[in-house]
């Protein structure tokens, strides 16, 4: 069977029947029914711009929280993604940097706009898992962990101006073009997957911002096409990178929280704009985020490059019997 080698390569999780059209993976909870993870974005710079410092603190916090996995919000390799599956930057920016014991867990990654400027198929290739078995990057997928479903969304193709090769940058649209078909299918699949999800917590992960007080600000295409279905389907958190900072914004008209974790390496752009929702926390520097979940509680913490907890948010959900 041609499938067997593939299945053994991905032994730390299971491919289940797909939820709608999105591939679905599964991750077990801890024996006490909880889950904890770190979120990092905008990182791969061969250790420079304090990437190594942030990584060391992720290792320390990851150990104290006994994390189950790591989520990467994209822009995994600067400036132009990977050149191919044999690009040494994979080891130089990932394997050798996130070397701490506690980070030797599964990493679930999406692609950022910089990743699209290289060989995008390389990052999606199972061959990378032979080099470092932690690596898993897919375009869009659902990760189920009983109490929570994570919906990873490939946001780069939404952004219209990338399709005009801005500043002469080439984007690798293999498997994506034409844009309109790709996006309308993705929005439909995501909406269906959200509707079918019985999980208590729903977390959507993408690279681009929906709400941001930093340089890039709101991403208009996501605000128009994604935000309505996140609100309609009771999504708890939208987690992203793209702006190289840490921020927490809460929606004015629904329970949705916007969490930016894009402080994996280069930061400090010195811009703070007003936002149309409520800005709860903003740090224009390097760091990362943790998320701990139980059936009834979510704890979000943002950390700086020294591992100091800068901002904490706890959310409690009352228990309702499942429908
Ligand atoms: C590294 O982090 C320190 C402490 O936050 C900061 O002062 C410094 O500017 C950072 N260096 C770079 C290159 O980002």
For 102-145, give the DSSP string: GG-SEEEE---TTGGGS-HHHHH-TTHHHH-TTEEE-SSEEEEE
Q: Name the residue of 50, 55, 268 to mutate for ligand 1: max ligand atoms within 8 A of Cβ.
A: 50
State the CATH number of the domain containing residue 9: 3.60.21.10
Q: Give every CB contact of residue 179 below 8 A, 6+ residues apart in sequence.
A: 157, 160, 163, 173
Q: What is the band of 6 on the pLDDT scale with cuts at 50, 70, 90?
A: very low
Question: Cβ(240) to ligand 1 under 6 A?
Answer: no
Tokens coding 167: 């500043």
Q: What is the pLDDT of residue 188?
A: 97
Please identify, by atom number, the ligand 1 atom nearest to the C-alpha of residue 304: 5
The alpha carbon of 315 and the centre of ligand 1 are apart by a number of angstroms equal to: 32
- Tell me if 50 CB under 6 Å of ligand 1: yes
Number of domains the chain is built from: 1
- Rounded to whole angstroms, the Cα distance separating 239 from 272 reads 19
Residue with tokens 């690798």: 172
| CB 111 within 8 Å of CB 208 | no
pTM for the full predicted model = 0.93
Residue 62, SS3 per DSSP: helix
268 CA: nearest ligand 1 atom: 14
| 314 touches 299 (CB < 8 A) | yes
49 in ligand 1 pocket by Cβ < 6 Å? yes
Give the pLDDT mean for 104-124: 98
| Structure tokens that stand for 176 in this block | 């994506």
Residue 282, ligand 1, Cβ within 6 A: no
Residue 156 lies in a domain: yes
DSSP code of residue 44:
B
Residue 318: predicted pLDDT: 81
Nearest CA to ligand 1 atom 12: 49
| 7: pLDDT strictly greater than 80 | no
- Written as six digits, the tokens of 137 are 């990057």
Indicate the SS3 state at residue 185: helix
* Number of H-type helices and E-type strands within the chain: 8, 16
Cα-Cα-Cα-Cα torsion 52, 58, 59, 61, nearest 10 degrees, comes to: 150
The answer to whether position 321 is within a domain reads: no
Domain-located, residue 174 = yes
Rounded Cα distance between 252 and 135, Å, is 36
CA 49 to ligand 1 centroid distance, Å: 7
CB 71 within 8 A of CB 204: no
Q: Does residue 283 belong to any structural domain of this protein?
A: yes
- Identified catalytic residue from 27, 207, 216, 244: 216
CA gap 291, 184 in Å, rounded: 30
**Ligand 1, atom 13: nearest CA belongs to which residue?**
49
Q: How confident is the model at residue 211 (pLDDT cuts 50, 70, 90)?
A: very high
Average pLDDT, the chain: 93
- CA dist 102 → 107, 269, 309 (Å): 12, 31, 18
- The reply to whether 170 belongs to the active site is no
The closest residue, in CA terms, to atom 14 on ligand 1 is 49
Q: Check pLDDT > 90 for residue 165.
A: no
Note down the domain range covering 101: 3-316
Q: Does residue 239 carry a pLDDT above 70?
A: yes
Structural domain contains residue 323? no
């Amino acid at each position: 069977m041609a499938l067997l080698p593939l299945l053994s390569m991905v032994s730390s999780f299971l491919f289940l029947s797909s939820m709608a059209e999105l591939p679905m993976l599964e991750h077990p909870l801890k024996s006490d029914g909880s889950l904890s993870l770190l979120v990092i974005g905008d990182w791969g710079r061969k250790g420079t711009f304090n990437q190594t410092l942030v990584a060391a603190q992720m290792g320390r916090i990851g150990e104290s929280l006994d994390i189950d996995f790591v989520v990467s919000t994209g822009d995994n390799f600067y400036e132009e993604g990977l050149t191919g599956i044999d690009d040494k930057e994979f080891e130089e920016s990932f394997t050798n940097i996130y070397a701490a014991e506690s980070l030797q867990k599964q990493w679930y990654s999406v692609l950022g706009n910089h990743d699209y400027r290289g060989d995008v198929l390389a990052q999606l290739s199972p061959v990378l898992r032979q080099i470092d078995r932690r690596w898993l990057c897919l375009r869009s997928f659902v990760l189920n962990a009983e109490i929570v479903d994570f919906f990873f969304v490939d946001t780069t193709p939404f952004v219209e101006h990338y399709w005009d090769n801005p500043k002469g940058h080439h984007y690798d649209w293999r498997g994506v073009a034409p844009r309109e078909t790709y996006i309308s299918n993705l929005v439909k699949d995501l909406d269906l997957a959200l509707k079918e999800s019985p999980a208590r917590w729903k977390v959507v992960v993408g690279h681009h911002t929906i709400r941001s007080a930093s340089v890039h600000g709101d991403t208009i295409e996501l605000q128009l096409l994604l935000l309505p279905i996140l609100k309609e389907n009771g999504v708890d958190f939208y987690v992203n990178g793209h702006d190289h900072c840490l921020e927490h914004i809460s929606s004015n008209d629904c329970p949705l929280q916007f969490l930016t974790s894009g402080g994996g390496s280069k930061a400090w752009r010195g811009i703070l704009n007003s936002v149309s929702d409520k800005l709860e926390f903003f740090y224009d520097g390097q760091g990362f985020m943790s998320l701990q979940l139980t059936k009834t509680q979510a704890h979000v913490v943002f950390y700086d490059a020294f591992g100091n907890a800068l901002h904490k948010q706890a959310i409690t959900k009352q228990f309702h019997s499942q429908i």
